[in-house]
Amino acid sequence: QVQLVESGGGLVQPGGSLRLSCAASGFAFSRYAMNWYRQAPGKERELVATITSTGGSTNYADSMKGRCTISRDNAKNTVYLQMNTLKPEDTAVYYCNARGTHYTNYGRDYWGQGTQVTVSS
């Protein structure tokens, strides 16, 4: 079965760093774009970062640009989000997402359960 298992969330002080991981199984990981979304209390879900299936291209939300890096290891079926210089407004539940963009899998969408990131002193 399809599974996305996230880890690495937790409590961190402002200015600190976290590395989120998402381990995927049950589908052709290397043929899917991978994304990180987040949702803060009372706000809509927003896209934080995206990476193409081969890892050749990445994009970031303006609020996180320069402070985070998305990467993937297709041999390990894992995607990462390194976050630095964290701010209290980064507090949210972070979700791992796999999205098909090729004609063979276009429209397929898989989600992890989410991991809580809390930035507070």
pLDDT at 71: 98
pLDDT at 102: 87
Whole-number Å distance between alpha carbons of 59 and 57: 7
pLDDT in tens, the chain (121 residues): 999 999 999 999 999 999 999 999 999 999 999 999 999 999 999 999 999 999 999 999 999 989 999 999 999 999 999 999 999 999 999 999 999 988 888 989 999 999 999 999 9
pLDDT at 92: 98
Residue type (1 letter), 52: T
- In 3D space, the residue among 68, 83, 70 whose CA is nearest the CA of residue 118 turns out to be 83
- In 3D space, the residue among 104, 92, 81 whose CA is nearest the CA of residue 19 turns out to be 81
pLDDT at 65: 86
In sequence order, which residues have a C-beta less than 8 Å from that of residue 119 and are 6 or more positions away? Answer: 12, 13, 14, 16, 86, 87, 88, 89, 90, 91
